[in-house]
Structure 1
Amino acid sequence: MFGPHQKIILHLLDIPKMADALKGVVMELQDSSYPLLDSVVATTDVQTAFLHINVAILVGAFPRGPGMQRKDLLKVNVSIFKEQGEALNKYASRDVKVLVVGNPANTNALTALTKASDLPTANFSALTRLDQNRAQSMISEKVGVSVENVNNVIIWGNHSLTQVPDVNHGYISNYPQRDLVSPIKSAVEDEKWLNEQFIPLVQNRGAAVIAARKLSSAASAANAIVGHMRDWLLGTRDGEVVSMAVYSDGSYNIPKGLIFSFPVTCRQGQWSIVQDLKISPFIQAKLELTTKELEEEKQVALSFLN
C-alpha cells in the first residue's frame, strides 16, 4: 500500500465482544511474517486505536438488515462515525489520511469529518475505487483487452445505486493494435449497451456479489483500499485519473459540503479534482440524481448529529 520499503505499525480496533477474534487476527498476522509489519496494536479502546495514527481505514459500519429503511441505517451509523470522528479529532496525527469504507460510505465520511472539526476537510475520503475497478473490468471484458489497458473510467457521486460510471473521458491503450489509443466509446461501439446495461451492471455489482457468496465484497474491497491509499499517498501516474469520494468544493456545480466521488489526481499526499471535463446531458441528468440522494442523506445525518 505504501511502497516496498515502508514499515508500518498496524492499529486494529474492534468492539469488545470481538476481542477474542481480534487476538486470532493478530496471531495470523504474526504467523505470516510480513517483513514490513513492524508491530500490531490490537484494542477495543478508541483512544489507544487512534493515538498518533497517520492513516485511518474505517471499515466497520452497521449493515442494513431485513426491513431496515435507509434512514434507520443512517441513524445507527451516525453514532458510530460520530465517535470515530471525535477520536480522530482528539488523538490522530494532524495530517491523518482517512478513508471510509463502511456504508453508506459517503455520508459516514461526512459525519466523521463534521465531528473532526480541527482537521482539514481534505483529510477525508470515501471509497469508490472498487466501483471504478468493477467498471474497468467490465469494459476490458466487453472489448476483449487486458484490464491494465483500460484507463480513466470515472465514478461520480454516491457509493450507492445512484453512482454514475462515466466512460466518456476514458481510453484503451494498445488498441486496436500496439502503440495505438482508442476512446472507450469507440472501442466498445455499442452506445445502447453502455447506457442501458453497463451502468446498471456497475451500480448493482455489490448486490450481485452478495447474492452469489452470501457475503459482501471482501478481497476486491481490500484491493480497492490498497489502490486508493497508495495513489493518495504516493501519487497517481502521469495522465492517470482515479475516482475518490472527497469534500466538494463546488466543482461541476456539485454543492459544497458533500462527500462526492470525483475524478482526481494525486501529488505529494494531496488530491486535486480534475477540472473542465465536458459532461454530456445523459451523464448530467444522472449527476443530479446522485447529488439529490447525497443531499437528502446529509440532512438526515445532520438531524441525528444535532
Structure 2
Amino acid sequence: MEGGAVKVVVTGAAGQIGYSILPMICSGHMLGANTHIDLGLLDIPQCEEALRGVVMELQDCSYPLITQIRHGSDPREILRDADIIIFLGGFPRKAGMERKELLQRNCNIFKEQGAALNEVGKQTTLCLVVANPANTNCLILSHFAPNIPRKNFSAMTRLDHNRSMHQIAARAGVHSSAVKNVIIWGNHSSTQYPDVNHGTVNGHPIKQTLNDDAWLHGEFITTVQRRGAAIIEARKLSSAMSAAKAAVDHVRTWVQGTPEGEHVSMAVLSDGSYGIDEGLCYSYPVTCANKEWHVVQGLHIDEFSREKMELTKRELIEERDEALS
C-alpha cells in the first residue's frame, strides 16, 4: 500500500451501492485527500455493459486521485494484488425467497470469489464484506481463502453503528458527533443488539443522559434493527447511500485508526472473546491501529445484554451451519 497508488477493488460495482460509494472513494473520503488510487471494478458478465457506463462516468469526473481504472468480470484478473477489496456483489433476497436459498446462492458466489482471492490476493489484502448476509458471506470468503490471514476479513455493521448514533443524538437533542462508543453486537440482521451501556453523550454516560431505560431497551433497539426495512418501505429501494457511507467509514477507520478512547463496531472472525464461538463472524466493539483491529476487552455485560448477544449468536451459528452444509 505504501509508496504508489493503493489498489482498491469494488465488487458488484455496477449496482446501487456501487453508484453511491465510487464518488466517495474517488474523492478521497475513504483514504485521504493525498492518496492515489488504482481502481478495480468487478461485476458479473450480465452487468458488464452497465459497468462500462459507470467507468465512462468516472472518467468524465476526472478525479485527480485516480491513476487507473480496471474493470471486468474475471475475479482473478480484477482482485489480483489488491490492497483493499469491498465486496458489494451478492445475490439479493427476492420476494418469497427463503433465507436458506439466499444463503446457498451467496455461499456459491463467495466460495468462488474466495478461491480466486486465495490465488491472486496478498497477505496484506484487507477485505470488507457488505453484501448480505454479510457476516456469513465474510465467514465463507475467509474459509475459501486460507492464504489470507483471518484478521484481514471483516463484515460491515458500521451502518447499524451509525444508525444507533443518530437515534441517540436525536433523542438527546445533540449532534451525532457528540455520541461515542455505542456497540453493535452480533449479526447484521434484525437480531443484532445495539448496546449503549458503554457509550457517552458529550462525555457523559448515555443511560444517565437519557434516563429512559424503557426507550433504550425497547423502541431504540427495534428502530435500529428495522431501519433498513423502514427505508425500503419509504423509498421502495434499499439504503444504498447510507450503506456506501458506512463502508467508507469502516475502511477509513480500519486503515487510519480509531481516535484515543473511542471504538467502533466491526464484524470480525471471533477469537472467543465474550463467550462467542471462535471463528464465527460476529460484530464486536473494536479499536484500530496500523491497519489491524483489536476487540475491546473487559467490558461488563449485564444480564439483558447477555441474552441479546446469545440470541444473535445462535442465528449466526444457524447461518454458518446452513451455508457450509
User: Normalising by structure 2, what TM-score?
Assistant: 0.90
1:271 pairs with 285, 288, 293, which one? Answer: 293
Aligned partner of 1:235 in structure 2 is 257
What stretches of structure 2 of length at least 5 have no aligned partner? Answer: 1-29
Amino acid at match of 1:286: K
Separation in 2 of the partners of 1:66 and 1:227? 31
The answer to whether residue 266 in structure 2 is matched with residue 244 in structure 1 is yes
Separation in 1 of the partners of 2:94 and 2:117? 28
Amino acid at match of 1:46: P
Separation in 2 of the partners of 1:248 and 1:223? 25
Moved over 3 A (4+): none
1:127 pairs with 145, 156, 166, which one? Answer: 156
RMSD: 0.7
Separation in 2 of the partners of 1:260 and 1:157? 5
Structure 1 residues 17-67: Cα deviation after superposition (integer angstroms, max 9, x where no partner):
111111110111111121111111011111111111111100011111111
Amino acid at match of 1:249: D
Moved more, 148-157 or 181-190: 181-190
Separation in 2 of the partners of 1:221 and 1:38? 26
Amino acid at match of 1:138: Q
Aligned partner of 1:136 in structure 2 is 165
Aligned partner of 2:143 in structure 1 is 114
Q: Percent identity?
A: 53
Structure 1 residues 227-283: Cα deviation after superposition (integer angstroms, max 9, x where no partner):
100110111111110000001000000010100000000000010000000011111
Secondary structure of 2:218's counterpart equals helix
User: Normalising by structure 1, what TM-score?
Assistant: 0.96
Give 1:68 deviation, angstroms. 1.0
Separation in 1 of the partners of 2:232 and 2:37? 32
What stretches of structure 1 of length at least 5 have no aligned partner? Answer: 174-180
Structure 1 residues 216-235: Cα deviation after superposition (integer angstroms, max 9, x where no partner):
11111111011100110111
Aligned partner of 2:115 in structure 1 is 86
Aligned partner of 2:105 in structure 1 is 76
2:52 pairs with 14, 23, 35, which one? Answer: 23
Aligned partner of 1:8 in structure 2 is 37
Amino acid at match of 2:130: V
| Structure 1 residues 279-294: aligned runs within 5 Å | 279-294=301-316
Moved more, 194-203 or 40-49: 40-49
Aligned partner of 2:283 in structure 1 is 261
Amino acid at match of 1:279: I
The answer to whether residue 320 in structure 2 is matched with residue 298 in structure 1 is yes
Give 1:215 deviation, angstroms. 1.1
Secondary structure of 2:301's counterpart equals coil
Give 1:96 deviation, angstroms. 0.3
Separation in 2 of the partners of 1:254 and 1:10? 36
